[in-house]
Amino acid sequence: MSLGTLPNALVVIAVVVVVLARRLSWSELENSDADVWRGPLVLMGVGVYQLYDRHTVLGAVDVVLLVVGAVLALVAGVGSGRVAQVQRRAGKVFFRLGMPGLGIMVAYLVVRLGLAGLGHLLGASVAGGGGGALMVSMGANLLTQSLIIQSKASQMAEEYTNQ
């Protein structure tokens, strides 16, 4: 691990800790739009910038690992979004991941870090240890999770108005 990679790793770890802490506690959906949308998009933007900033040509291994990471992020995002808890309280919608969602997120992060390690061992220039690929993947995961949670909240609101 180089000195340039250490700050990236610390940023990713800090983001993961903050996001998990927020998503494990009940949050009002209307007031958390900034967290739901902007956070993942900013994370993805920083990751794309870091990938682009390296001016490295992508090899076949990089492309395969980036695609596998993206698919993994989307599958884990859908899974954790589906098991997220959504409640209506006093006319407002609240959500949290709960323990099943935490389990999916932890499993995703372990597999994703393993994928980064595999990329490093295979000599991948971009996907093998740079924080950019991990940030893009994490942002895609959180964005997908958010879309599923908002869909569940919309269905709950529709059911509530039809009663």
119 and 62 Cβ atoms separated by less than 8 Å:
yes
pLDDT in tens, 84-126: 998 888 878 888 988 999 999 999 989 988 888 888 888 877 7
Its sign, for the CA torsion 136, 148, 85, 82, is negative
The angle at the Cα of 117, spanning 74 to 54, to the nearest 5 degrees, equals: 80
Q: In what order do the strands lie in the sheet with 92-96?
A: 27-28, 92-96, 85-89
The pLDDT confidence band at residue 158, using thresholds 50, 70 and 90, is confident
pLDDT higher than 70, residue 145? yes
Handedness of CA 9, 131, 43, 82 (dihedral sign): negative
Rounded average pLDDT over 122-134: 73
Inter-CA distances, 115 with 35, 108, 120, Å:
27, 10, 9
In tens, the pLDDT along 21-42 reads 888 888 887 655 565 677 788 8
**Given this model, what pLDDT does residue 2 score?**
47
3 state SS of 86? strand
